[in-house]
A and B are shown apart, each in its own frame.
Chain A
Amino acid sequence: MSRLEKALDQVRSERSTFGSAYEIRSPKEGGLSFVEYKSGHSKSGLIPIISVGRQVPSPADREWQAMEEEIIASEYLLMIENDLEFEDFVPYTRSTLARATQFLRRMMIYAHSANVVGMGVPRIGPADRGSIDVFWETQDRTLLINFPSSETIANYFGRKPKSEISGRFDPSEPRPELLFWLAD
Chain B
Amino acid sequence: MCIWPVEEIPDSDVLFYRFPVGNLKRGDDRVFPGVFAENKGSMSTDWCKYSTAAQTRSRQGRPKRFAIIRMVVGKIREIDDMSVVHSPVQNLAGQPDNRAHTSVFGIEAQAGKPVQLGRKERIRTELYQRFNAWEIPPNAPVDPA
The interface of chain A, by Cβ under 8 A from chain B, is: 73-74, 76, 80-81, 83-88, 123, 125-128, 133, 135, 142, 144-146, 155-157, 159, 164-168
Residues of B within 8 A of A86 (CB): 37, 39
Interface status of B38 (Cβ within 8 A of chain A): yes
Our pick among A83, A146, A159, A166 for the contact of B22 (Cβ within 8 Å) is A83
Our pick among A73, A74, A85, A156 for the contact of B121 (Cβ within 8 Å) is A156
The interface of chain B, by Cβ under 8 A from chain A, is: 18, 20, 22-23, 25-26, 28, 30, 32-34, 37-40, 60, 65, 107, 116-122, 124-125, 128-129
Most-contacted residue by chain A among B38, B40, B117 (CB, 10 A): B117
A146 and B20 in contact, given A85-B60, A133-B32 (Cβ under 8 angstroms): no
Our pick among A85, A126, A128, A168 for the contact of B117 (Cβ within 8 Å) is A168
Pairwise interchain contact B32-A125, C-beta atoms closer than 8 A? yes
A159 nearest CB neighbor, chain B only: B125
B87 to chain A, nearest CB (A): 16
A89 nearest CB neighbor, chain B only: B39
Residues of B within 8 A of A145 (CB): 121
